[in-house]
Chains A and B, each alone.
Chain A
Amino acid sequence: MTAFLAVLGRELRLALRHPADALAAVLFFLLVSALFPFGVGPAPETLARLAPGALLAASLLAALLPLDRLWGAEAEDGSLDLLLLSGLHPALIALAKATGHWLTTGLPLILATPLAAAMLNLPTEAWGVAMLALGLASLILSLLGTAGAALTLGARRGGVLLPLLVLPLAIPAVIFGAAAIEATTTDSSARPMLLLLGALAALALPLAPVAAGAALRGE
Chain B
Amino acid sequence: MSRGVRVLETIDLACWRGERAVFAGLDLRVRPGGATLLLGQNGAGKSSLLRVLAGLLPAAAGRITWQGQDVREDPAAHARRLRYLGHLDALKPALTVRENLAFHAALTGGAVEPALAALGLSALAELPGRMLSAGQRRRLALARLALAPAAIWLLDEPTLGLDAASVERLGALLAAHRAQGGLVIAATHLPLPLPGAEEFRL
Contacts and interface: CB of A to CB of B under 8 A. Distances in A.
Nearest to B88: A78
Interface residues of A, number: 22
A5 B95 CA distance: 17
A5 B107 CA distance: 10
B95 A14 contact: yes
A17 B90 contact: no
A76 B89 CA distance: 10
Contacts of A77: 88-92
A41 B82 CA distance: 63
B31 interface: no
A27 to B, nearest CB: 21
A78 B79 contact: no
A156 interface: no
B80 A6 contact: no
Interface size class of B (residues with CB under 8 A): 20 to 34
Contacts of A87: 76, 79-80, 107-108
A179 interface: no
Interface string A1-27: 011011000100110011000000000
Contact of A82 (B80, B90, B94, B95): B90
Given A82-B104, A82-B107, A14 B79 contact: no
A78 B76 contact: no
B106 A3 contact: yes
| Among A14, A78, A84: residue with most chain B CB under 10 A | A78
A79 B92 contact: yes
Contacts of A88: 107
B5 interface: no
A81 to B, nearest CB: 6
A201 to B, nearest CB: 28
A40 interface: no
A43 interface: no
A210 B55 CA distance: 19
Interface in B79-109: 79-80, 82, 84, 86-92, 94-95, 99, 103-104, 106-108
B84 A81 contact: yes
B49 to A, nearest CB: 15
13 contacts: A3-B106, A13-B99, A17-B94, A76-B88, A77-B88, A77-B91, A78-B90, A81-B84, A81-B88, A81-B90, A82-B104, A84-B79, A88-B107
Closest 6 CB pairs of A and B: A78-B88, A6-B106, A17-B94, A78-B90, A86-B107, A85-B79
Interface of B: 51, 54-56, 76, 79-80, 82, 84, 86-92, 94-95, 99, 103-104, 106-108, 144
